[in-house]
Amino acid sequence: MRKNTLKNLLIGKIPEDKINSISKSYEIVGDIAIIEIPSEVEKYENEIAKALMNFNKNIKTVLKKSGIHQGEFRTQDLTYLLGEDKKETEYLENGIKLKINPQTVYFSARLSTERGELMSNLEENKRILIMFSGAGPYTFVALKKQSNISKIDSIEINPQGHKYALESLNLNKNILMKSKIYIKLEKFVKENQIPIKYKELINLLNNIKINFFNEDVKIQANKFTIREYTKEVKYFENDIFLKNNLEIFNELKEKNNIFLD
């Protein structure tokens, strides 16, 4: 019996001299397959997409590369071929999850091993700056591999990359809950019944591990304010992880039946 490989599934459907290159020219991101199809076999693209979905049952969508990575954001056009008509997916690697749209954000699943190895070699208790952070793959892998990192600052100029990095925060709460700062936060919530002292809470949140910055971030400006009666505590508007921790804090309050007076 012939082995069920993509190469074998393509036999008889496209010219034999093109089979080898086609069978190696795709990448899987979540449940989306992204394939490169030479112009001379474009008329067979639907057959190629069907073979790919038959070969890998986890694939829900097949997209075709319609150009090279280009522009300031290094993105590329992708054309829908088969399956669910979508370009957004959730992707798992190195124990972390990412929300991603490979058309609007530069991303390569093929760098998964490199990311894992690189982030495993980070020194503990260091503050890390990740430039061109995209949707956050290096950021979340770093936190997963090295929970004792002091803080990570991730900077991405593409607003879509910034958007998906923030959405991915909620997909990685399992990592956040294992971090020292979250454990301290949870303990604080459980031990402090009515009223909760903002000052102590904010001191905890000030030690947050991740900041995601978009291109126009100015650390010294654009502040927002948390008010408790007449007291004011000022924090940076772009300190997104602080906002996210406040949301987690609110969930913990509800779970433990704690209320502010």
The pLDDT tens digits for 49-59 are 999 999 999 99
Number of domains in the chain: 2
Q: Verify that 112 and 191 share a domain, yes or no.
A: yes
Is the domain of 112 the same as that of 233? yes
pLDDT over 60 (residue 173): yes
The answer as to whether 151 is a domain residue is yes
Q: Which of 123-137, 139-153, 166-180 has the lowest mean pLDDT?
A: 166-180
Give domain status of residue 261, yes or no.
no
Q: Let me know whether 131 and 233 are in one domain.
A: yes
Same domain, 82 and 120: no
Backbone angles phi, psi at 164, to 5 degrees: -70, -30
Same domain, 134 and 244: yes
Pick from 6-20, 58-72, 89-103: least confident: 6-20
- Which domain-ending residue is among 62, 87, 112? 87
Q: Which domain holds residue 70?
A: 6-87
Residues 22, 148 within the same domain: no
Rg of the chain, C-alpha, whole Å? 23
In a domain, 1, yes or no: no
If asked whether residues 68 and 167 sit together in one domain, one would say no
Quick one: pLDDT band at residue 194, thresholds 50, 70, 90? very low
Query: Would you tell me how many other CB atoms lie within 10 Å of the CB of residue 121?
Result: 8
pLDDT at 92: 95
